[in-house]
Amino acid sequence: MDDSVNEQEMLKTLEVHVINEISLIKDQQQKDFLLLKSAIEENNKMMKELIQQEFGQAKLMMLEQPAKEVKVKINKGPLALTTVGKLKEKYKNAVYNDGVVCKGNQFVGCKNSDKIGNDPNEVINHCSQCNFDLCQKCFELIENIHEHPLEKVTYGHLLETQKDSYGGGWQCDCRSFQGCVLDGKAIKDQYEIVYHDAINQFNLCVSCANSYKV
Ligand SMILES: [Zn+2]
Ligand SMILES: [Zn+2]
Ligand SMILES: [Zn+2]
């Protein structure tokens, strides 16, 4: 009888011991699982950042050695290569918080007419260094675009003094402006290249910088 009681007690003790062990193992597993989970999450976060960085770098490299500086027909000063991220950093997000809008969308054709002009009394805003011409209407809207000073002359004067270039009439140089493919949509990707003139706060997308290049 005594033996049997002892045996029962021993079994009971053993059972309790096993239950305690199992519960300890379960606790440890739960802790390990949480540790593993947070390690995986941390790793995923790092991978994401790395991929984002690498993708941005790849994007920069995809464009074959973009020009460091461009001169364009639609801005007085040269534009320097930068990125949306760098502009945000430079201006502490104040101006470019919502991305960079390419100014190219403001230049769409001539405001007057695309016709070849031949009225000798018509006033032309003329650059004698490169024969750049703006009609009066376009000049009033965007007078500041040309890198050289513009002089007001009549077509009759140009015809008289430069018959070779102006014998067949004249056309406003705004006629070739075709706006921007982005059509006013902000460029938000911080790794995207933009061309920037800090003095005039004038920015162009890569496509416009290329098409308006002089
Ligand atoms: Zn015009
Ligand atoms: Zn000029
Ligand atoms: Zn553009």
Task: Of 119, 214, 201, give the one whose Cα is nearest residue 173.
Answer: 214
Question: What does the pLDDT read at residue 115?
Answer: 81
* Distance of CA 45 from the midpoint of ligand 1 (Å): 53
Q: Using DSSP bridges, classify how beta strands 123-127 and 79-83 pair: parallel, antiparallel or unpaired.
A: unpaired
* Most confident stretch, 14-23, 26-35, 88-97, 201-210: 201-210
For residue 149, how far is the Cα from the chain centroid?
A: 31
Q: Is the entire prediction scored with pTM above 0.85?
A: no
**pLDDT tens for residues 130-139?**
899 999 999 9
The CA distance from 172 to 112, in Å, is 9
* Distance of CA 78 from the midpoint of ligand 3 (Å): 16
Q: How many CB atoms lie within 10 A of CB 124?
A: 21
User: Whose structure tokens read 């009549």?
Assistant: 154
The residue type of 187 is I
* Distance of CA 127 from the midpoint of ligand 2 (Å): 5
* Distance of CA 41 from the midpoint of ligand 2 (Å): 59
Record the tokens describing residue 109, joined without a space: 């054709």
Closest ligand to the CA of 102: 3
pLDDT at 3 over 70: no
